C-alpha cells in the first residue's frame, strides 16, 4: 500500500500548491516548508540559511572558503570544532528527515532529492510535475513576481536542481525511470491531484492483487 508520495517539480509548475491540495485531500502530513524547518532545527541554524542552500551545490567561492577554513583549523589544537552549514551538511540532514517521514508514513514530501532517497521503497509513489515555460512564468507573476524576476527564476532554479541531482545522486534530472508518473500541470491543479490519486489507487490495486 502506498504510504508516501514524493513530488519533484520544475520551478513554477505549481508543485507546492498541488502538494498542499493533495495533503488536504488525503489528510497526510506535508513535508515542504516543514522539511526545511526540521533541517534547520537539526543543523542548529536559521531557516533562511537552509533555504539558501537546499537543492543546490555550493558555489566555487564557498567551497574554496570552506577548504581554507578547515585547513586553518586543522593546525589548531585549541580551536573549537568547525561547524559549517553547507550543501553536504544539509543533504545529510535532509536524508535523515525524509527517511523518518517515510518510516512514519502518510507523508507527502516535496523535492529535496526525496525521490532518490526513497526510490527503492515499494510503498512510495514518485511523481514529477512540469509545465511550459510561459505557464511557469504566469504562475510566478500571479504570486507577485515581476516579469523579469519570474523569467530569471524559471531559467536559473531548475539549472541549480540539475546540478544538485547530478552531483549528489549521479543521475540526470529528471531521472525519468524513478517516477511512476510525470504530469503537465497546465491541466489544472485539481486535475493533477485526481491523476495522482488515480495512479496511487492503481498501484495499491496491483499490490493487493
pLDDT number for residue 62: 45
Contacts of 190 (CB under 8 A, 6+ apart): 21
- C-alpha to C-alpha distance for 206 and 208, rounded to whole angstroms: 5
pLDDT number for residue 72: 44
What CATH class is the domain 4-56+90-208?
Answer: alpha beta
- C-alpha to C-alpha distance for 19 and 11, rounded to whole angstroms: 14
Which set of grid coordinates corresponds to residue 21? 491540495
Which set of grid coordinates corresponds to residue 187? 491541466
**CB count, 10 Å around CB of 45?**
16
pLDDT number for residue 208: 76
Q: Which residue has the cell 593546525?
A: 75
Which set of grid coordinates corresponds to residue 85? 552549514
pLDDT number for residue 59: 55
Tens of pLDDT, residue by residue, the chain (209 residues): 999 999 999 999 999 999 999 999 999 999 999 999 999 999 888 999 899 889 988 754 444 444 444 454 444 444 344 456 788 889 999 999 999 999 999 999 999 999 999 999 999 999 999 999 999 999 999 999 999 999 999 999 999 999 999 999 999 999 999 999 999 999 999 999 999 999 999 999 987 77
For residue 173, report the phi and psi dihedrals to the nearest 5 degrees.
-120, 125
For 13, 40, 58, 59, 100, the CA distances from 96, given in Å and listed in that order, are 27, 12, 20, 24, 6
Q: Structural domain boundaries of the chain?
A: 4-56+90-208
- C-alpha to C-alpha distance for 108 and 40, rounded to whole angstroms: 19
Strand pairing partners for 127?
A: 7, 181
Q: Which residue has the cell 529535496?
A: 112
> 86: burial class by Cβ within 10 Å (0-12, 13-18, 19+)?
middle
- C-alpha to C-alpha distance for 160 and 6, rounded to whole angstroms: 19
pLDDT number for residue 84: 62
pLDDT number for residue 67: 47
Nearest to 97 by CA among 22, 21, 34, 162: 34
Query: SS3 for 29?
Result: strand
Amino acid at each position: 500500500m502506498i504510504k508516501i508520495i514524493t513530488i519533484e517539480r520544475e520551478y513554477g509548475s505549481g508543485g507546492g500548491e498541488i502538494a498542499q491540495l493533495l495533503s488536504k485531500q488525503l489528510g497526510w502530513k506535508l513535508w515542504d516548508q516543514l522539511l526545511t524547518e526540521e533541517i534547520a532545527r537539526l543543523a542548529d541554524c536559521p531557516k533562511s540559511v537552509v533555504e539558501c542552500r537546499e537543492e543546490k551545490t555550493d558555489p566555487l567561492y564557498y567551497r574554496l572558503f570552506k577548504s581554507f577554513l578547515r585547513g586553518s583549523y586543522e593546525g589548531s589544537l585549541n580551536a573549537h570544532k568547525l561547524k559549517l552549514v553547507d550543501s553536504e551538511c544539509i543533504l545529510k540532514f535532509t536524508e535523515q528527515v525524509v527517511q523518518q517521514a517515510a518510516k512514519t508514513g502518510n507523508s507527502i514530501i516535496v523535492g529535496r532529492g526525496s525521490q532518490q532517497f526513497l526510490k527503492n521503497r515499494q510503498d512510495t509513489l514518485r511523481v514529477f510535475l512540469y509545465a511550459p515555460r510561459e505557464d511557469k512564468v504566469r504562475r510566478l507573476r500571479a504570486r507577485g513576481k515581476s516579469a523579469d524576476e519570474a523569467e530569471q527564476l524559471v531559467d536559473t532554479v531548475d539549472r541549480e536542481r540539475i546540478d544538485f541531482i547530478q552531483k549528489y545522486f549521479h543521475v540526470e534530472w529528471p531521472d525519468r525511470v524513478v517516477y511512476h508518473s510525470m504530469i503537465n500541470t497546465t491541466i489544472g491543479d485539481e486535475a493533477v491531484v485526481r491523476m495522482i490519486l488515480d495512479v496511487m489507487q492503481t498501484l495499491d490495486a496491483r499490490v493487493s492483487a
